[in-house]
Amino acid sequence: MPPLPRAAYAHYLDGKLATYAKDWPAASIALSAALAAAPDQPMIAVELAHAQVKAGDLSGAAATLAAARQKWPEHPQVWLASGDALATTATDQAAAAYRRALELQPDDERGYLGLARIELARKHPDVAEAVLRVLVTHVPGSVDGHYLLAQRLATRDHAAAIVQLRATIERNPDHIDARLDLARALRRQGNLVDAIAQIRSAFDRAAQPLDIAEELFYLLCEADDRTAAIDLLTLLDDDRSEVDALAAVARLERGLGRLDESRVVAERIAATDADAGAIALARTELAAHAHAKARAALATIDATSERHGEAQKVRVQIELDAGNPTGALALVGALPPKDPELALLAAFALADLGKAADARALVPAQDFGRARLEDRLGDTTAAIALCDRIIAAHPESGSALNLAGYLLADAGKRLDDAARYLKTARELSPGDPAVLDSWGWLLLKRGQAREAVKILDKAARYAPREPEILLHLATAWAADKAPRTAAEVLVRAAALSPAPAVRRRIDALRVTLAP
């Protein structure tokens, strides 16, 4: 093609500079001038339409592209740009434009990706999947093609999804989302070794972010590698770690029962943020049921602190744990709390005082917190019904799945549903001691005492300061004809200041184990 006229170059470069500055109206004006100076250049029309879309001038972009399609009907980029511009306003026309672009240029992955998105928007998932399959055949190097196809396959064919995820990583080793998805798919297949390798690689390649670190931590717990889990926490606890990361380390150390280590981390936090360190220390003392020390740790945080709201929630939790619901309510105040978490804590306090109606008034009937409240009030039927509704609307709600599975197992009802719920909960939250506890309790209710002991013992190793988990483990040992071991576990549970209801169950089981 002949060189562009000087004026066309000037306007085009002016428009491109405006696009880099994201000044889309200015870009549209400059590119319009460039197209007027060089009306035989289809790519200027494509650039102009793109700028018009970004500027919100959809009608202008449609007119630009309509003229371009009429003038250059064999130019694939014109059709591709038409598909992009029409994607949100005219999906049928957009799909036709993408298909025409692919007829003219069958090896351009952008046409396939655009068409797949459109077919998903048109509620044609099977067609979208077929488009992606053609894409990875025609353009085997398409990273996005392999990854999007893996996402389509993930819900029904883990093996096929794994193939596509491996293809994605082979072409882009730094594709973090693909590595995480591959780790999760491998875990669902029971391949924990490879799953851990993939998520560890994602952790390192992504510069060790906290969210991936926590997922790796629980996966190591699922693999029963406590040493590696502790080593990971040690890695995260260094001089470069931010306050939020150190707070997460302290929380995970508390979960493992390593309270001295959690106190040390709290001191490190306090060196940077005194109030955050005080809260971390208070949570640690709360885990030890050292209520006076927990209260003292928070004494320096007043209403002017940015962390006052968080500290207030911990104060309420301390009073609830100490069996002082009246004191917890006094901390909340007379008005209903606006913060949902604080409102739920206030509802727990009211429930403990026997004021069920007042407690229910603080928590919306459709919230998962309401299911927790009904459980605290002893209305298992209502709690299960709420969880059932939440799961129907949100099938991957791990908390609702776990609570419903546990309550069904504990009541000896709908055990098949309980198993289905807890299986999904384990897939969503591998290594979570609360979920392991529920699963072990279900096994025990099904008469599988030996298998229950194995799972509950694992839960107790990763949550050694949870008296109810230890009570469940002792119950399983008793059912497995090992009363002496059961009694030893009960001694550990009783030493952890269990709640009154748990204490009564410990005493009741101890009576049955007496010689």
* 47-102 per-position pLDDT tens digit: 999 999 999 998 999 999 999 999 999 999 999 999 999 888 889 999 999 999 99
**What are the DSSP calls for 444-480, one per residue?**
HHTT-HHHHHHHHHHHHHHSTT-HHHHHHHHHHHHHT
Q: In the block, which residue shows the tokens 């897939």?
A: 427
Distance CA 436, CA 34 (A): 66
pLDDT for the residue numbered 246 = 93
The predicted structure's pLDDT at residue 47: 94
Residue carrying the six token digits 């107790």: 460
At 310 the pLDDT is: 94
Give the right CATH number for 438-515 from 3.30.420.40, 1.25.40.10, 1.10.510.10, 3.40.1710.10: 1.25.40.10
Lowest-pLDDT choice from 28-42, 322-336, 361-375, 420-434? 322-336
Q: Quick one: CA torsion of 127, 131, 137, 140, rounded to 10 degrees?
A: -130
Domain ranges across the chain: 364-430, 438-515
What is the sign, positive or negative, of the torsion defined by CA atoms of 360, 361, 365, 368?
Answer: negative
Residue 515's pLDDT band (cuts 50, 70, 90) = low
| Average confidence (pLDDT) over 321-350 | 91
Provide, rounded to the nearest whole percent, the portion of the chain with pLDDT above 90.
88
Work out the pLDDT band at 1, boundaries 50, 70, 90: low
Lowest mean pLDDT among 19-33, 193-207, 223-237, 323-337: 323-337
Are the C-beta atoms of residues 295 and 318 closer than 8 Å to each other? yes
DSSP per-residue letters across 63-77: HHHHHHHHH-TT-HH
Name the CATH topology of 364-430.
1.25.40
Per-residue pLDDT tens for 358-397?
A: 999 999 998 999 999 999 999 999 999 999 999 999 999 9
Q: What is the pLDDT of residue 193?
A: 94
- Separation CA 228–CA 18 (nearest Å): 51
Given pLDDT bands bounded at 50, 70 and 90, which one contains residue 103? very high
Structure tokens at 196: 């851990």
Distant-in-sequence, close-in-space partners of 469: CB < 8 Å, separation ≥ 6: 433, 437, 456, 459, 460, 463
Contacts 24+ apart (CB under 8 A), 54-63: 54/19, 54/22, 54/24, 54/27, 55/24, 55/25, 55/27, 55/28, 56/24, 57/28, 58/85, 58/89, 60/28, 61/85, 62/86
pLDDT at 238: 79
The residues, any chain, with a CB within 8 Å of residue 157's CB and separated by 6 or more, are: none
Q: Please report the pLDDT score of residue 402 as a whole number.
A: 97
Average pLDDT over residues 396-411: 96
Q: Provide the pLDDT for residue 334.
A: 72
- How sure is the predictor about 5, in pLDDT bands with cuts at 50, 70 and 90? confident
Per-residue pLDDT at 444: 96
* pLDDT, tens digit (0-9, with 9 covering 90-100), for 112-136: 999 999 999 999 999 999 999 999 9
- Model confidence pLDDT, tens digit, residues 143-167: 999 999 999 999 889 899 999 999 9
Q: Cα-flanking dihedrals φ and ψ of residue 437, to 5°? A: -60, -45
Average pLDDT over residues 312-317: 96
Calculate what percentage of the chain has a pLDDT beyond 70: 99
Alpha carbons 419 and 69: distance in angstroms, whole number: 58
For the stretch 243-297, pLDDT in tens is: 999 999 999 999 999 999 999 999 999 999 999 999 999 999 999 999 999 999 9
Quote the mean pLDDT of the chain.
93
How far does CA 147 lie from the centroid of its chain?
Answer: 19
Q: What is the pLDDT of residue 88?
A: 84
Nearest to 114 by CA among 74, 81, 136: 81
